[in-house]
Chain A
Amino acid sequence: MKTKRPSRETLLRFYREMQRIRQFDLKAAELFTQGRMAGNIHTCVGQEATAVGACQALEPTDFITATHRGHGHCLAKGGQAAVMMAELFGKATGYCKGKGGSMHIADLGLGILGANGIVGAGIPIAAGSALASKIKGSREVTLAFFGDGASNEGVFHEALNMASAWRLPVIFLCENNKYGVSVCIDRVTNIADIADRATAYDIPGIVVDGNDVLAVFEAVSAAAARARAGEGPTLIEAKTYRHRGHYEGDPQIYKPADEAAGWKERDPIALLRAAVLALDPGAAAELEEIETSVRREIEDAVAFATESPYPEPGEVVRDVYAADNERSVVR
């Protein structure tokens, strides 16, 4: 099924969403380096097109599972920058009341079933969400974001097999950014395209340019239509690149010197900007307006996170269990 080319208005919307992710992550990296937040930050700078292209192809009632590199996934699915930033700061106003942090952001109301600190874990959880839709006879689609590294975990294969056998309404979206921490996918996988693994499960396996938001949007739209029609899962591999280190402070000694430059030219935000301007050379002012308004959103998010209170100490024993918490927590 072929989707319509998005309108100028839609492209500008995509642009705004990609800017939100880029600016959020760059700001988070900056604050982390300044020692203003604890833990670890995995940015997705350079991968914004996959998050936005995929989530824009979904409906608000659809679900996603995100990864340890999940800020972009959560923002693209409608997450509020301020509430996310507060979570990164460990504040009571964060999505998880400061108990999850960067790697565990969830908003079940928005269909974000959670980022995950365990590589690959979101893949079967997404398939399970799709199983729930099948059992309920409802029409939601669930999309699992995961990396090339995660595609070598056993649960990737188990989930694809079951999703295929049961024709579950799920989309497996592999963001192949070439690396799992320091290890280039080429060194640990003897196939050029992870999408080829779909053959083993007799489902479509599609390779797309992960830096082209429209290509991702089209592929996910088609996969979602297929899922909703009861025809089962699709494996999509989006070829992209992680511009920054695996974590902030990663010296990236494992990347060839000239590699990043080539990918910088194919920066997804620059590509979309060029596409908008090709369509309408007069749109430059609008693009700048978007950038400015997103900058304000991110500044407000940081202010909100900074001003928010830390959780009360008593909060530490809450939500281990649904009820009779004291008894279960103490003994």
Chain B
Amino acid sequence: MKTITYGQAISEALREELLRDQNVFILGEDMAVMGSVFGLTKGFLEEFGANRVIDTPISEAGFTAMAVGAALRGLRPVVEIMYVDFTPVCFDAIANQAAKMRYMTGGQASVPLVLRCPGGAGRRNAGQHSQSLEALFTHIPGLKVIAPSTPADMKGLLKTAIRDDDPVVCIEHKLLYATKGEVPDGDHLVPLGKADIKRPGRDITIVAWSRQVHSALEAAQTLAGEGIDAEVLDLRSLVPLDWETLAASIRKTHRAVIVHEAVKRGGYGGELAAQIGEDLFDSLDAPVKRVAGLNVVAPFSPALEDFIYPNPGDIAAAVRQTLGR
């Protein structure tokens, strides 16, 4: 085991997969000469050459669709969209092309493409650079969606995503790039569709993903001091969803709080709450609660931005309320 950052985990995953499979290549803005705006692909150009680490023009719609074309030809493109906020520019390539090719061709076509999208708030970047748009992708059949919270999960899931034969959208939280964690040595893989219990507990299940897993863990720590034993379930992969692990946890704790940074209205938390309501009603001792971003545009002012997404205090309060304490 070694300790590396979430950003280094991405870098290692990309490098290892470029080395392992000649069909893997990287496409995006500032990926080659500069080594990406977050410094994740530094040195790759020298190591792998300009055919495998490609600096594109600022043409998200064009190059994401080109990645679909290259994927149809058996290559495995890893596309970076500099911020998830820019994916609406290229949504046709994602939602109408990549996601639907296999189905609409009756299983002939395969689009093994990974779309890496830095997302999330917290950097005072205002409305067009702070969103969490994972719900858009979970709504499209044919896409898979991952949102890892730790370096180990990031590395293992990204490597698996690159090897996966379907288009996978990888949501990376910008505030996590510098966070550190232990990552197993060797060819570390985490399967898609497997949730992880980051903290076991008996009294309530807190379901979270991406950066909110850390807020949930902090909240659980506080609650432990009050005699509340919260389980923190990190979904890691939103599609496919690990329903078995989620259901087993709720059957054990009988209560659930879902936490996400994306705005509450239309968020993936609503989908999870509905599924829990439909299938686990008899196991529930309290209504499922959601703690999520406010239904507002991310504001610039630090004095305002900190109010929009959930913090550990909000999560702890929601847990207390659900438990009637």
Chain A residues close to B by CB (< 8 Å): 63, 65, 94-100, 104, 106-109, 113-114, 116-118, 121, 124-136, 142, 154-155, 157-159, 161-162, 165, 318-324, 327-331
Contacts and interface: CB of A to CB of B under 8 A. Distances in A.
Contact of B73 (A100, A132, A162): A132
Given A124-B61, A135-B75, A328 B239 contact: yes
A113 B71 CA distance: 11
B298 interface: no
A14 to B, nearest CB: 28
A282 to B, nearest CB: 44
Contacts of B74: 132
Given A108-B72, A134-B51, A328-B239, A322 B110 contact: yes
B157 interface: no
A125 B107 CA distance: 18
Contacts of B105: 95-96, 99-100, 104, 106, 108, 114
Contacts of B141: 320, 329
A88 B113 CA distance: 29
B69 A321 contact: no
Interface string B232-251: 00000001110100000000
Nearest to A163: B66
Interface in B70-105: 70-75, 92-93, 96-97, 101-105
A124 B62 contact: yes
Nearest to B237: A328
Contacts of A129: 69-70, 72-73
A124 B65 contact: yes
Given A96-B104, A98-B106, A125 B61 contact: no
Contact of B61 (A108, A155, A323, A331): A155
B25 interface: yes
Given A99-B103, A114-B105, A158-B57, A132 B63 contact: no
B63 to A, nearest CB: 7
A321 B66 CA distance: 21
Nearest to A144: B69
Nearest to A318: B107
Contact of A331 (B103, B165, B166, B240): B240
Nearest to A166: B54
B59 interface: yes
Contacts of A113: 69, 72, 109
A277 B258 CA distance: 76
A108 B70 contact: no
B103 A320 contact: yes
B56 interface: yes
B301 interface: no
B65 A121 contact: yes
A162 B97 contact: no
For the complex of A and B, the 7 pairs showing the least CB-CB separation, nearest first, are: A128-B69, A158-B62, A128-B66, A124-B65, A97-B106, A132-B73, A96-B106
B102 A320 contact: yes
B144 interface: yes
24 contacts: A63-B73, A95-B105, A96-B105, A99-B106, A100-B106, A106-B109, A108-B105, A114-B72, A114-B109, A125-B66, A125-B69, A128-B72, A129-B69, A131-B66, A157-B62, A158-B57, A161-B59, A162-B57, A318-B107, A320-B142, A321-B142, A322-B110, A327-B243, A330-B243
A157 B61 CA distance: 10
Given A127-B69, A161-B59, A328-B239, A95 B75 contact: no
Given A108-B108, A155-B92, A331-B241, 18 more contacts: A96-B106, A96-B108, A114-B101, A114-B109, A121-B93, A124-B63, A125-B69, A125-B72, A127-B62, A128-B69, A128-B73, A155-B61, A158-B59, A158-B62, A158-B63, A161-B59, A320-B103, A330-B243
B52 interface: yes
A320 B68 CA distance: 16
Nearest to A113: B72
A165 B93 CA distance: 21
Contact of B103 (A142, A319, A323): A319
A128 B104 contact: no
A321 B241 contact: no
Interface string B160-174: 000011100000000
B67 interface: yes
Given A161-B62, A162-B57, A121 B240 contact: no
A125 B65 contact: yes
| Candidate in B57, B73, B102 with the most chain A CB atoms within 10 angstroms | B73
B287 interface: no
A142 B69 CA distance: 10
B296 to A, nearest CB: 30
A100 B72 CA distance: 17
B193 interface: yes
A144 to B, nearest CB: 9
A135 B51 contact: yes
A121 B96 contact: yes
Contact of A321 (B72, B73, B109, B166): B166
A161 B69 contact: no
Nearest to B65: A124
A158 B109 CA distance: 24
A133 B73 contact: yes
A28 to B, nearest CB: 19
Given A97-B106, A113-B72, A121-B96, A128 B65 contact: yes
B321 interface: no
Contacts of B109: 106, 108, 113-114
Given A158-B57, A162-B56, A319 B72 contact: no
B79 to A, nearest CB: 11
A164 to B, nearest CB: 11
A178 to B, nearest CB: 25
A155 B243 contact: no
